[in-house]
Amino acid sequence: MTIAIRPAVPADLPLIASLIRALAAYEKLADAVRFDEATLGEKLFGKRPYAEVVIGELDGAAQGFALFFHNFSTFEGKPGIYLEDLFVRPEARGHGLGKALLAHLAALAVQRDCARLEWSVLDWNEPAIGFYRSLGARMMDEWTVMRVDGLALGELGAQAGNTHPIG
């Protein structure tokens, strides 16, 4: 099988949306998917893209994707790449596409002078954890992810008042 990794283009938006939904279903989080496809397209391909996507193909057929964005390490004084989503369709697994997607992101990180490539994984996803470890990734058990979203995000943001201009 021939593996190819390519940057996504706006015409890939329906494909990206379907892969996100497939990932959510695999992670048992289908009910959490609320995006509007047009808004997703604007955030990925508009005037100020917030994330990038690469498409993984096997023999010319799109079978997976990686969605990522830059973060920043103050300790390193350099950017990093944060992998938000990595997904390969179940029927396409075992051919090296997931590894190729991660290797592509690692090469981008090196090319862009990034200090690290990192991501989160669900603690029950033993196949993914084993796969990531086989590539040299290590668990960051001393860190816990924190999140503010929905109503709590709005309430916290409202506390900013008029004393701190938001630009």
Q: Read off the pLDDT of residues 62-113 as tens digits, 9 standing for 90 and up.
A: 999 999 999 999 999 999 999 999 999 999 999 999 999 999 999 999 999 9
Q: What band does 165 get if pLDDT is binned at 50, 70 and 90? A: low
Instruction: Report yes or no on 157 lying in a domain.
Output: no
Per-residue pLDDT tens over the stretch 4-48: 999 999 999 999 999 999 999 999 999 999 999 999 999 999 999
Which pLDDT score is estimated for 161?
74
CA 144 to chain centroid, in Å, comes to 18
Number of domains in the chain: 1
CA distances from 130 to 56, 71, 82 (A): 21, 25, 19
Instruction: Report yes or no on 21 lying in a domain.
Output: yes
Q: What band does 144 get if pLDDT is binned at 50, 70 and 90? A: confident
Domain of 9 in residue numbering reads as: 3-141
* pTM, full prediction: 0.91
**pLDDT at 167 exceeding the cut of 80:** no
Instruction: Report yes or no on 47 lying in a domain.
Output: yes
Known catalytic membership, residue 132: yes
Question: Residue 93 belongs to a domain with what CATH number?
Answer: 3.40.630.30
Say which of 26, 50, 82, 132 is annotated catalytic: 132
Instruction: Report yes or no on 152 lying in a domain.
Output: no
User: For the CA atoms of the chain, what is the radius of gyration?
Assistant: 17
Instruction: Report yes or no on 160 lying in a domain.
Output: no
Instruction: Report yes or no on 129 lying in a domain.
Output: yes
Which pLDDT score is estimated for 162?
59
Instruction: Report yes or no on 159 lying in a domain.
Output: no
Q: Please give the Cα distance from 163 to 167 (Å, whole number).
A: 13
